[in-house]
Structure 1
Amino acid sequence: MSPPPSVGTLDADVTSPPPPASVRRPAVPAVRPRARRSTAWLGLLPPLALLLGLEFAVRQGWVPRHLLPAPSDLVQTFVQLGQATVTQHVLVSSLRVLAGFLLGTLLALLVGAAVGLRKPLEDLLDPSFQALRAIPSLAWVPLLLLWLGIDEAPKIVLIAIGAFFPVYLGVSSGLRDVDRKLVEVARMAGLSPLALTRRVLLPAAMPAVMTGIRQGLSLAWMFMVAAELIAATQGLGYLLTDGRETGRADLVLSAIVLLAVLGKLSDSLLQRWERHLLRWRDTFQSHR
């Protein structure tokens, strides 16, 4: 009887030779994600279409020119005002908005955090703030004139009032709505109150806080127009009043266009800051 085959012989018999090159399966190339094309330029289409349509309607005589000037008439108005005059009005209004917005936002962050973290303070202060929030901006003007006179103080305070309430709501609701499970896990991990606030509460509430800040900035621009009705001699609100009193629709629309552009630019800056602060989030927006 012949001896059993060695292990090396058995392996050589069992192992089959590699298939020929013609039979081998072709390598599947790695699928690379397609680069997303930016669609930010789509936001320019509605205003461009509106401007072109308005220009065409005015030139065809469908719209009275003295009631609704064409965009080309607005360009002539800016030229007549002069670059120095337009820059001065824009600078004065921007500084007022900046001062009032910073004052209102700082107070709202402090009060909103206290109300959001302490239930007794919420029961004490929130009903009054909700009632004050419903007061229109123009209703504050006579009272501020009596209290603060006609200088810059009543204008800045009125803008601060407009910025306060959206930021207050964002901060207080953002802290109240933090997931209870996150807080319990943090306490089980032994985090101190300061560390709990810094590492859990603030990151969880930051989306609502940033939304409130952006809304507060937009309301600050709106309240600025009402503020510049208080004996103002410069600013975009003054241009609106001057255009109304002189019957110049082109001056009124020019001030409105400047307000829209400045509001959009300032909101875009806040939006970029928001994306930077919240870049850690994995949201639907980041995958669209």
Structure 2
Amino acid sequence: MSNAIKALEQSPRLERKGSSELAVQRTRWLKEKLNDAVIGSLLPVLILVAWQVAGDLGLFTREFLPTPLHIAAEFRTLIASGELAQHLSISLQRAGIGFLIGGSLGLLFGFLVGFVQRLEFMLDPSFQMLRVIPHLAIAPLIILWFGFGETSKIVIIASGSFFPMYIHTFLGIRSVDQKLFDVARVLNFTKTKQIFRLVLPAALPGILLGLRLSVAISWLGLVVAELIGSQAGIGFLINFGKQTSTTELIFVGVIIFAVIGKLVDSLVRLLEKRLLSWRDSFQG
């Protein structure tokens, strides 16, 4: 009886000890993330400070290179007028639709060509030839076919996002070790079980890499589509800044493209980290 009483008395202590260790681990993790954020932002902050000081000293004109404060003032003007939200929503919608169409087709054809060798002989040479054609080379042709409306812009974005998804899905499937199929035959796996329990997990790193590159190319395709001909969107703001010699507006557009692109890439990397948490890879 006395031993049981002692155990009951000690159990809250053990719980408190476990919770305190967990709190210490969380604090350590937050400190590490904070240190990483500080280190990562150190160089950009130094560049901005040097840029502002050089502009204030008159080392370059405002028309050639506006200071960060001038660019921030242009940001505030666009936000207050509501123009920034309007143009950004249009650009995001275009990029999203184009990526969904091109990425989905790339994933589909990557699966088909990866699993069926005959389709590889039929389709892959043509896809590889089309892949090396730059956006700027086919954009005038697409505009000639579809006009200056939304369709041509979405087609330009979709055509760019198709190929990274297709190539990395195809290569991911073909890079699955043949020995795993021998093991699957020994375990009497059905074709469906081989695909979902063997091929897809093994090809997932390649597919996620294709997803990441496809998202990036979609964003680049959006820049091309909106700079060639557009009446709305972030690319339109950049063109308008060029026509009116408003350098601050051009910088606003460039910064938005950079920030949104980095945020989307970080989201894909987070998804990749979650889905591939089982891998024990080198961290540097």
TM-score using structure 2 length: 0.84
CA distance in 1 between partners of 2:158 and 2:187 (Å): 40
1:168 deviates by 0.9
More displaced stretch, 200-209 vs 40-49: 40-49
1:80 deviates by 2.4
SS of the counterpart of 1:82? helix
CA distance in 2 between partners of 1:218 and 1:45 (Å): 25
1:40 and 2:11 aligned: no
- Of residues 62, 75, 93, the one that matches 1:65 is 62
More displaced stretch, 97-106 vs 262-271: 262-271
Task: Give unmatched runs, 5+ long, in structure 1.
Answer: 1-31
Aligned-residue RMSD, C-alpha: 1.9
1:16 aligns with: none
Letter in 2 for 1:181: K
1:90 aligns with: 88
Task: Give unmatched runs, 5+ long, in structure 2.
Answer: 1-20
SS of the counterpart of 2:232? coil
Count of residue pairs brought into register by the alignment:
255
1:210 aligns with: 208
- Of residues 278, 281, 284, the one that matches 1:283 is 281
1:254 deviates by 0.7
Deviation digits for residues 47-87 of structure 1, max 9, x if unmatched?
Answer: 22222221122122223321111111101111222341111
2:219 aligns with: 221
| Contact 1:155-1:230 at 8 Å conserved across structures | no
1:244 deviates by 1.4
Q: Which has the larger radius of gyration?
A: 1
Which ranges of 4 or more aligned residues in structure 1 deviate by more than 3 Å? none
Letter in 1 for 2:108: L
More displaced stretch, 153-162 vs 270-279: 270-279
1:145 aligns with: 143
1:50 and 2:50 aligned: no
1:75 and 2:72 aligned: yes
- Of residues 156, 159, 165, the one that matches 2:157 is 159
1:263 and 2:261 aligned: yes
CA distance in 2 between partners of 1:181 and 1:49 (Å): 53
| Contact 1:96-1:155 at 8 Å conserved across structures | yes
1:275 deviates by 1.5
2:248 aligns with: 250
Letter in 2 for 1:71: P
Report sequence identity in percent: 40
1:274 deviates by 1.4
CA distance in 2 between partners of 1:179 and 1:192 (Å): 18
Question: More helix per residue: 1 or 2?
Answer: 2
Letter in 1 for 2:72: V
1:181 aligns with: 179
CA distance in 1 between partners of 2:117 and 2:195 (Å): 16
